[in-house]
Chains A and B, each alone.
Chain A
Amino acid sequence: MSGASKNGGRKNAFQRFAANKGALVGLVVLLVILVVAVAGPWWYPTSPWRMVGRPFLAPFVMDRFPLGTDTLGRDIAAGLAHGARVSLLIGLVSTSVALLIGVPLGALAGYFGGWIDDAAMRFTEFFQTIPSFALAIVIVAILQPSLASIVLAIGVVSWPPVARLVRGEVMSLRTREYVQAAVTLGQSTPRIIFSQVLPNAVAPIIVMGSLMVASAILLESALSFLGLGDPNMMTWGYMVGAGRTRLIDAWWVSFFPGFAIFLTVLALNLVGEGLNDALNPRLSGGRN
């Protein structure tokens, strides 16, 4: 990672990451999920919506359906494989959207200060006050559920912490000597922000980004659970919701997809903490 070289600790970033056992476990789990997401459609080339077997087949009984079938006879393992792709995709893209809103806004507020800072921070506070899940529901429902509206909704409710973080970083960075030097040299303001200030704020942004992917996946699954998923895509949240009417006879229909969400989010959180140790050694120095 680019942050490694400038943190002058005795260990480098990789060693610090590797010293965190939880982060390593998280990374392995995440890689497995990534493989499933990439290879899933090859393993299960038929649509996960197809009714391929008898409904309510219990898991671990038939080799063909290792995780059983759901209320309509759809293969749960196939659904999980296809859902992995959607979860990771939405998590990554919506986090990028949140970064695209939050980073420039925070950078402007922190660099210029004054009324720009005031206005940007009032705007941020407003979005932090609104109940974010309710706002996401309203956005997706009114714009109609689709990949685009879901990504937009998650991005729109997730950017405020990014803006605050970047603002703080930029405020402290802009007084550094090398930034002052760039100002004296007559570099343009956008160039200073992009080439002098922001590259030095990358480490905390990466850490926050990895944690945001986790919460974006949770948010997406909750939206699909409520029936606000893209109707063309099999998602884990949808699968949990589809099974909930027959909980007593077929617990596995809701259990496995929920467990997949849990594992993915846990793995991402662990990796995020590991990245924090690796990239922000000063901040996590007190960890034991």
Chain B
Amino acid sequence: MPFLTFLTGRIAKGFLVLLAIAVLNFLLIRAAPGDPAMVMAGEAGAADAVFLEQLRQRFGLDKPFIEQLWLYLKGYLVLDLGFSYRQQQPVLGLIMTRLPATLLLTGTAFVFSLAMGMVLGILAARRVGKLSDSAITLSALVFYATPLFWVALLAQIVFALKLGWVPNIGYETIGAGYTGIRRALDIGHHLILPALTLGLFFMALYARMMRASMLEVAGADFVKTARAKGLSEGVITRRHVARNALLPVVTLAGLQAGQLVGGAVLTETVFAWPGIGRLMFEALAQRDYALLLGVFFVSSAMVVALNLLTDIIYRAVDPRIEAAS
């Protein structure tokens, strides 16, 4: 299949998924108890009659079901995700100002967890049954069972409040007025704790997967061949086993992208990180459902985009995939 056909196909599929999510949002509003206009305005009850009437007009809430669905989807088609009455701003604008912080946090956590998971998985697989293997396997089990929000709070107590190594909360030092490199360093300093806590669970997951995958690949014929050729164990591990063992781990990591976004809601809430996860928490507290559904839509779009990217990278990296399709 030529690359362009593949690409258009994947983009069309991603578009369909987003459309389905818009439909899901619409159905959720309808499933909510009470007047849909009230739900869209935010149940905080602050919405005035004029605004409610505007919503009824715009979304045709007195019209048949199908027409309402169409009016709702029309908004999404032109990227109008509604209006947050509480914040007196369009939902999309609110989300866009918060998106970079989330991308920074999830991106860092992703890279950290994948890199560390890989290294720990390789180490454990090379020393099966030894103490370091048991230690790595055990800590993977422990991190895997730890509630993310709890470990975030513990990290906050120990590393920020007691030891004072890193800032407690926030994105940068407020009022410091740093610019350029100094500002980047400041943000980086604030980023360490949230990114590490968010990444721990995934690191545990990837380490376990990498270990299992390494052990599986290690029994393959081409590894025996490499050993028969007289290659050193280090070269075999790095060039033959690890490279092949990585593929299922990367697949898993791509599938876990959605989980990472979900985890960001908890991490950002605990560390007051000004991303869309924190925005979701604020929307919850204020019962701002238009904003809540908007964040849900955008975070799903992020995952769809990431899956698309993974597919493209995959096709580029592994020639077998193109041959198979």
Evaluate contact between B29 and A142: CB separation under 8 angstroms. Answer: yes
A288 to B285, CA, bound (A): 48
Considering only CB atoms, which chain A residue lies closest to B281 in the complex? A226
A 127-161 to B, binary, CB cutoff 8 A, 1 in contact else 0: 01111111101110111100000000000000000
Which one of B80-88, B223-231, B235-243, B290-298 is at the interface?
B290-298
B-contacting residues, A239-288, CB 8 Å = 240-241, 244, 247-248, 251, 254-255, 258-259, 261-262, 265-266, 269-270, 286, 288
A81 to B263, CA, bound (A): 27
Evaluate contact between B141 and A254: CB separation under 8 angstroms. Answer: no
Evaluate contact between A130 and B300: CB separation under 8 angstroms. Answer: yes
Task: Specify which of B255, B265, B270, B293 is in contact with A133 (CB 8 Å cutoff).
Answer: B265
**A237 CB contacts on chain B under 8 angstroms:** 147, 149
Evaluate contact between A221 and B262: CB separation under 8 angstroms. Answer: no
Known: A131-B262, A247-B153, A262-B147. A141 touches B300 (CB 8 A): no
Q: Does B259 contact A (CB under 8 A)?
A: yes
A-B CB contact pairs (8 Å), 8 listed: A130-B303, A133-B259, A218-B145, A222-B148, A225-B266, A240-B153, A262-B146, A270-B141
Q: Does B284 contact A (CB under 8 A)?
A: yes
Q: A133-B263, A134-B300 are in contact. List 9 more A-B contacts (CB 8 A).
A: A129-B304, A130-B24, A130-B303, A133-B265, A142-B39, A144-B33, A222-B266, A228-B284, A262-B150
Known: A226-B284, A244-B270. A135 touches B296 (CB 8 A): yes
A138 to B265, CA, bound (A): 12
A262 to B148, CA, bound (A): 10
Going nearest first, the 7 A-B pairs with the smallest beta carbon separation are: A133-B262, A258-B150, A131-B258, A266-B145, A265-B145, A131-B261, A142-B32
**B24 CB contacts on chain A under 8 angstroms:** 130
**B184 CB contacts on chain A under 8 angstroms:** none
A-contacting residues, B287-325, CB 8 Å = 287, 289, 292-293, 295-296, 299-300, 303-304, 307
A161 to B281, CA, bound (A): 28
A98 to B211, CA, bound (A): 29
Q: Does B128 contact A (CB under 8 A)?
A: yes
**A129 CB contacts on chain B under 8 angstroms:** 17, 258, 300, 303-304, 307
* Range of interface residues on B (Cβ < 8 Å): 35 or more
Which among A226, A248, A269 has the greatest number of chain B C-beta atoms within 10 A?
Answer: A226
Task: Specify which of B153, B215, B280 is in contact with A254 (CB 8 Å cutoff).
Answer: B153
A26 to B296, CA, bound (A): 36
**B215 CB contacts on chain A under 8 angstroms:** 286
**A266 CB contacts on chain B under 8 angstroms:** 141-142, 145
Considering only CB atoms, which chain B residue lies closest to A265 in the complex? B145
State the A residues within 8 Å of B (CB): 22, 126, 128-135, 137-139, 141-144, 214, 218, 221-222, 225-228, 237, 240-241, 244, 247-248, 251, 254-255, 258-259, 261-262, 265-266, 269-270, 286, 288
**B293 CB contacts on chain A under 8 angstroms:** 138
A-contacting residues, B1-50, CB 8 Å = 17, 20-21, 24-25, 28-29, 31-33, 39
Evaluate contact between A258 and B284: CB separation under 8 angstroms. Answer: no
A-contacting residues, B168-198, CB 8 Å = none
**B281 CB contacts on chain A under 8 angstroms:** 226
Considering only CB atoms, which chain A residue lies closest to B289 in the complex? A142
Q: How far is the CB of A217 from chain B (nearest CB, A)?
A: 9
Q: Does B76 contact A (CB under 8 A)?
A: no
State the B residues within 8 Å of A (CB): 17, 20-21, 24-25, 28-29, 31-33, 39, 128-129, 141-142, 144-150, 153-154, 156-157, 161, 215-216, 255, 258-259, 261-263, 265-266, 269-270, 280-281, 284-285, 287, 289, 292-293, 295-296, 299-300, 303-304, 307
**A255 CB contacts on chain B under 8 angstroms:** 154
**A247 CB contacts on chain B under 8 angstroms:** 153, 156-157, 161
A142 to B157, CA, bound (A): 33
A157 to B210, CA, bound (A): 26
Q: How far is the CB of A111 from chain B (nearest CB, A)?
A: 25
A266 to B281, CA, bound (A): 27
Task: Specify which of A130, A138, A227 is in contact with B292 (CB 8 Å cutoff).
Answer: A138
Evaluate contact between A261 and B300: CB separation under 8 angstroms. Answer: no
**B299 CB contacts on chain A under 8 angstroms:** 131, 134
**A137 CB contacts on chain B under 8 angstroms:** 265, 280, 284, 292, 296
Evaluate contact between A138 and B258: CB separation under 8 angstroms. Answer: no
A143 to B43, CA, bound (A): 12
**A288 CB contacts on chain B under 8 angstroms:** 128-129
Evaluate contact between B21 and A130: CB separation under 8 angstroms. Answer: yes
Q: How far is the CB of B254 from chain A (nearest CB, A)?
A: 11
A141 to B148, CA, bound (A): 20
Task: Specify which of B29, B31, B147 is in contact with A240 (CB 8 Å cutoff).
Answer: B147
Q: How far is the CB of A102 from chain B (nearest CB, A)?
A: 17
